[in-house]
Chains A and B, each alone.
Chain A
């Protein structure tokens, strides 16, 4: 076959498997979230007892800004890593974790408020069931993302992350952007449409 090798387009390059796999995972995860969002929308106003979203939900503007800006910081840290600026990379990576952590703290505080002050649990009514499931599924994804970001931070502090890891960091960053985009949808559905 080698004598015919001229018919092979040169150079023979194929996409990076990590990015393809992450894109696939994101497609699959999107389908999961879609089903939870559909359930949420379908059950808006169908609860037979209180409390209702209008009575108990407060729009978490600050924590939303935190999460969305973490997408910006992770983008910058990617760029810093590509250019080999280790300190700037670590700083903005740490900032990403901090912002993500703040968001998670916000979710926790909101849940604490709902459970102890408003008496809304996952089994109280349909609103509780759909709300905790949808927001909880998202918070779970934030948590998983934070764990991965933390692992990278630890390796980074140990000096084990260099520009050679750029592609892998981009894969992680894809996931993080996805988590943020999902939050925009969840935010719209739960705090704007749902009330």
Chain B
């Protein structure tokens, strides 16, 4: 039986010189180590981009604040957005995918381990490149260091005339290179999931985690690539004197918007679908019930992937499109809410009648459900073109997408951290600190982002570095900033919890949550080869079958 073989631990690395350990990590092609590297990279940049967010919130604390200059403020929101999307959210999700997709489908590694390492290092170096702009962005022009054109870098702001020096070059090359890394990772995920499943792991039995990462990878292939193409065009414009986005020569600034958002909107789903994957693994385990509506869940995910490719121009209602275009993008944007709603019902259906255990991962899942729903509701509001004409580019929009990204994606990620930390490190995270983290983060999150809707409704535009007193915005901005501080404290508790628990936490054992997917059948942390004997599965919950031979799931399939 596989459980005899899995108790084997790798050779201890503690006794070896630290140089060799570092060398091992740098040259590794093991999907688990690369997963950890991805997650570590993302956490470092989470802190950096978090500090940038705090700087933004301090500047907006009171009217006429002089904490930073307008130029620095522009750099802060540009770097915050770019970093959070490309160097926090993407790497951390790829990290979890890397670590757990092979384990969940019963494989010993990804399909292309060296390509996998290459993808990681592309991501890491593009992140360093972006941040090197603080030192190198000046060029010979004395024209400002870090990119300051906003994370969507609209033309013609990125043209040589308006963006001298190298700041925009750092942005475009960093995003291009990280895009290549993402595409290679997507290829790797798809090849792994389609070609390396263990015997019996039919597509219809695959954990939803693997299914959703498969769909996400498909989206990466068709959504990140347009961004790469647009970045190549921007480089042609900036370095070879091209005219793609040069309105002086007949080029169009609007076409950049189209190219950017045909990436930009699916990107939201590229980020949220892996979070749906976390939800679909964690909610059943803590509800002590199998997932409700497995096939519907897969179908809804694929529907989201398709529909989300045709909603991009809802980011562009305010540029003045034709009425049919407005109608089309309004309808498609509302339609994408349907499969997403189905998913929420499925998770609720999973919890319904279950013996729910409110451990920290489950708390974050419940937070996700609640907040993601509200984020979806403001999304439906903004999907309506006339409403968007009023509130496009206001703080209402900022509040909406932070509700998705923080209230949705980040909450699901925290759930994933608490759920899988024991598998990755072999130690349990502290429940007490976890609950402190959860409640403080919930309070901070709602303070910042619930209140942020209101100055938006009152007409506060995004990306302004300061504002006049007497418009009724002060109190909301003040409390938003206080909320940001509460969130920062919660994140510090989280980091502290990870460090403390890594050294002092109780041993996790193979299967601390009494879960059902294959990663819990091996030791924590898993051996380098994952499975001494490649497992054979009979149902969607192989560990249930193992623990309950008298009533295996396979009887019901």
Binds A, one of B38-46, B406-414, B530-538: B530-538
User: B255 contacts A39, CB within 8 Å?
Assistant: yes
Contact of A129 with B by CB under 8 A: yes
Give the interface SS of chain A, mostly helix, strand, loop or mixed: helix
A39 to B255, CA, bound (A): 8
A34 to B545, CA, bound (A): 47
Contact of B233 among A5, A7, A39 (CB under 8 A): A39
Known: A1-B542, A4-B554, A39-B244. A32 touches B226 (CB 8 A): yes
A128 to B1, CA, bound (A): 66
**Closest residue on chain B to residue A11 by CB atoms:** B199
Contact of B288 with A by CB under 8 A: no
Contact of B243 among A20, A21, A126 (CB under 8 A): A126
User: B228 contacts A32, CB within 8 Å?
Assistant: yes
User: B242 contacts A122, CB within 8 Å?
Assistant: yes
Question: Which residues of chain A have C-beta atoms less than 8 A from B223's C-beta?
Answer: 31
Contact of A14 with B by CB under 8 A: yes
User: A2 contacts B250, CB within 8 Å?
Assistant: no
Contact of B222 with A by CB under 8 A: yes
Interface centre among B186, B190, B249 (most CB of A within 10 A): B249
User: B111 contacts A17, CB within 8 Å?
Assistant: yes
How far apart are A61's CB and chain B's nearest CB, in angstroms?
28
Known: A1-B2, A46-B250, A129-B242. A8 touches B194 (CB 8 A): no
User: B249 contacts A48, CB within 8 Å?
Assistant: yes
Contact of A12 among B200, B228, B545 (CB under 8 A): B200
Contact of A130 with B by CB under 8 A: yes
User: A15 contacts B542, CB within 8 Å?
Assistant: no
**Closest residue on chain A to residue B535 by CB atoms:** A1
Question: Which residues of chain A have C-beta atoms less than 8 A from B192's C-beta?
Answer: 17
Known: A32-B228, A43-B250, A126-B243. A7 touches B554 (CB 8 A): yes
Contact of B295 with A by CB under 8 A: no
Binds B, one of A22-30, A52-60, A175-183: A22-30
How far apart are A14's CB and chain B's nearest CB, in angstroms?
5
**Closest residue on chain A to residue B241 by CB atoms:** A123
Known: A1-B536, A31-B225. A21 touches B255 (CB 8 A): no
Contact of A125 with B by CB under 8 A: yes
**Closest residue on chain A to residue B200 by CB atoms:** A8
User: B194 contacts A31, CB within 8 Å?
Assistant: no
Question: Which residues of chain A have C-beta atoms less than 8 A from B229's C-beta?
Answer: 31-32, 35-36
A16 to B134, CA, bound (A): 45
Contact of B259 with A by CB under 8 A: yes
User: B250 contacts A126, CB within 8 Å?
Assistant: yes
A69 to B77, CA, bound (A): 53
Classify chain A's interface size: 35 or more
Question: Which residues of chain B have C-beta atoms less than 8 A from A48's C-beta?
Answer: 249-250
**Closest residue on chain A to residue B111 by CB atoms:** A17
User: B196 contacts A28, CB within 8 Å?
Assistant: no
Give residues of chain A (87-109) contacting chain B, Cβ–Cβ below 8 Å: none
User: B187 contacts A28, CB within 8 Å?
Assistant: yes
A22 to B186, CA, bound (A): 12
Contact of A166 with B by CB under 8 A: no
A46 to B242, CA, bound (A): 14
User: A17 contacts B250, CB within 8 Å?
Assistant: no
Contact of B236 with A by CB under 8 A: yes
Contact of B546 with A by CB under 8 A: yes
Contact of A143 with B by CB under 8 A: no
Contact of B166 with A by CB under 8 A: no
**Closest residue on chain A to residue B187 by CB atoms:** A24
A125 to B1, CA, bound (A): 70
How far apart are B542's CB and chain A's nearest CB, in angstroms?
7
Known: A24-B221, A122-B240, A129-B236. A35 touches B259 (CB 8 A): yes
Give the interface SS of chain B, mostly helix, strand, loop or mixed: helix
Interface centre among B226, B242, B255 (most CB of A within 10 A): B242
User: B195 contacts A4, CB within 8 Å?
Assistant: no
* In the complex, per-residue mask of B175-212: 1 if CB is within 8 Å of any chain A CB, else 0: 00000000100111011101111011010000000000
Contact of A47 with B by CB under 8 A: yes
**Closest residue on chain B to residue A49 by CB atoms:** B249
Question: Which residues of chain A have C-beta atoms less than 8 A from B535's C-beta?
Answer: 1
Question: Which residues of chain B have C-beta atoms less than 8 A from A12's C-beta?
Answer: 199-200
A123 to B243, CA, bound (A): 7
How far apart are A137's CB and chain B's nearest CB, in angstroms?
8
How far apart are B339's CB and chain A's nearest CB, in angstroms?
22
Question: Which residues of chain B have C-beta atoms less than 8 A from A123's C-beta?
Answer: 240-243
How far apart are A21's CB and chain B's nearest CB, in angstroms?
4
Interface centre among A1, A27, A129 (most CB of B within 10 A): A1
Contact of B252 with A by CB under 8 A: yes
User: B259 contacts A126, CB within 8 Å?
Assistant: no
User: A28 contacts B545, CB within 8 Å?
Assistant: no
Contact of B404 with A by CB under 8 A: no
Contact of A25 among B1, B187, B196, B228 (CB under 8 A): B187
Known: A17-B111, A17-B196, A39-B255. A9 touches B242 (CB 8 A): no
Question: Which residues of chain B have C-beta atoms less than 8 A from A2's C-beta?
Answer: 1, 536
Contact of A17 among B112, B202, B244 (CB under 8 A): B112
Contact of B251 with A by CB under 8 A: yes
Contact of B230 with A by CB under 8 A: yes
User: A31 contacts B222, CB within 8 Å?
Assistant: yes
Contact of B459 with A by CB under 8 A: no
Question: Which residues of chain A have C-beta atoms less than 8 A from B111's C-beta?
Answer: 17, 20-21
**Closest residue on chain A to residue B183 by CB atoms:** A28
Question: Which residues of chain B have C-beta atoms less than 8 A from A1's C-beta?
Answer: 1-2, 535-538, 542, 545-546
The 4 closest A-B pairs by CB, nearest first: A123-B241, A35-B229, A31-B225, A129-B242
Contacts A17-B111, A24-B186 known; list 10 others, CB within 8 Å. Answer: A1-B537, A4-B554, A14-B196, A24-B191, A31-B226, A35-B226, A36-B233, A39-B259, A126-B250, A129-B237
Residues of A within 8 A of B (CB): 1-2, 4-5, 7-9, 12, 14-17, 20-21, 24-25, 27-29, 31-32, 34-36, 39, 42-43, 46-48, 122-123, 125-126, 129-130, 133, 137
Contacts A/B (CB < 8 Å), 29 sampled = A1-B537, A1-B538, A2-B536, A4-B536, A8-B536, A14-B195, A15-B195, A17-B111, A17-B112, A17-B195, A20-B190, A21-B111, A24-B190, A24-B221, A28-B186, A28-B225, A35-B225, A35-B259, A36-B233, A46-B251, A47-B249, A47-B250, A122-B236, A122-B241, A125-B243, A126-B249, A129-B236, A129-B243, A133-B242
Residues of B within 8 A of A (CB): 1-2, 111-112, 183, 186-188, 190-192, 194-197, 199-200, 202, 217-218, 221-226, 228-230, 232-233, 236-237, 240-244, 249-252, 255, 259, 535-538, 542, 545-546, 552, 554
